[in-house]
Amino acid sequence: MKNNIAADSYFLDTLKLCNRIVMAPLTRRRCGNMGIPDELNALHYAQRASAGLIIAEATNVSAYKGYSDTPGLFTNEQIEGWKKVTEAVHQREGKIFVQLWHTGRYAHPDLLPEGYHTVAPSSLIFDGEINTPSGYQKLPLPKQLSLIEIKKTVDDFAQASLNAKLAGFDGIEIHAANGYLIDQFLSDGTNIRTDNYGGSVENRFRFLQEILLKCIQIWGENRVGVRLSPSGIKNGMSDSNPAVHFAEFISYLNQFPLAYLHLIEPLLSVDHLTHYPAKVSEYFRRFYKGTLIANGGFQPQDSNKIISELKADLLAFGKYFISNPDLPERIFNNLPLTPYDLNTFYGGDKKGYTDYQFYNNTKQ
């Protein structure tokens, strides 16, 4: 079958992907209070190793976290836990990056270590709720990060980047999307600073720029990716003109030897908003010269058409990979898809995590 993205190999520089289907990062909250991946996590990712590239779930770069039972990469125990995952994936000849994450103002003191405060680029509250050990609670007014704290956070990303290398990953993705800390710096609706990290587009990009410079120094060329959600309004995000501002951010990214740019289509409708492109990958493709991963709301059966129309290089799927561990085979052979169970997405055990069947009725 010609031009089938489930069969066409693709190179990220010297890293060969067996196809152009990517497993998107998926928070599943199955790593316990200490954020240490175990054998169950390793099996979950190994089952999906036929993806051209796996991007492992959002992983905390420090003890600061916005969700319970999410993994980290800031302790030796976490590094050892992730080694189980990367070794399991590599044994099946898969490739795996990890997404590095700081949730910023989307965090509650009940989830933070003693002495930590909820922080953000600016002291602007998101009028939403977050799930804590005591149930859903209102998010607090965040503390504006000081310049010293910004530097410390950049260093946290760098250390987690190094730890990812020690854990055996093939690369990393910087999570700069979906209303979390880096996205909060980029958007002028959440960043009203008056110093070198706020105001102009160039200044709002500075935090991400400093993280990239350190992480690329650790990993080298073509092993660091970036995820953006230019038209994202999730988690109370807003920007005065994302069509223009994110075009500039993306143009800046051309200065870095990235592995790829990963763009997310709107998770919530933006049809009622001006200056918010409804078709993100299609609109922003013109501004980026490197490898582009498109993600969000696409149907696996339409993969080849989507790649052709969007002019994306790789196509990422999230929910469909949850219930179809052999998704590339199903796309290639046009096989029916197993529906996913929303009730088992977050937390729990193997149910809805490692017990989905392959099409040939095996589990592993």
Q: Side chain identity at 81, as an amino acid letter?
A: G
- CB–CB of 102/60 below 8 Å? yes
Active-site residue identified among 10, 45, 64, 180: 180
Q: Of 300, 357, 308, 358, which is closest to residue 334 (Cα–Cα)?
A: 300
Secondary structure in 3-state letters for 55-72: EEEEEECCCCCCCCCCCE
Active site residue 180: yes
How many angstroms separate the Cα of 194 from the Cα of each of 19, 107, 130?
45, 24, 29
Give the strand pairing for 15-17 and 10-12. antiparallel
CA 133 to chain centre: 24
Q: Which strand (E) or helix (H) includes residue 23?
A: strand 21-23
81 exposed, middle or buried (CB, 10 Å; 0-12, 13-18, 19+)? buried
Q: Do the Cβ atoms of 137 and 66 come closer than 8 Å? A: no
Active site amino acids: 180
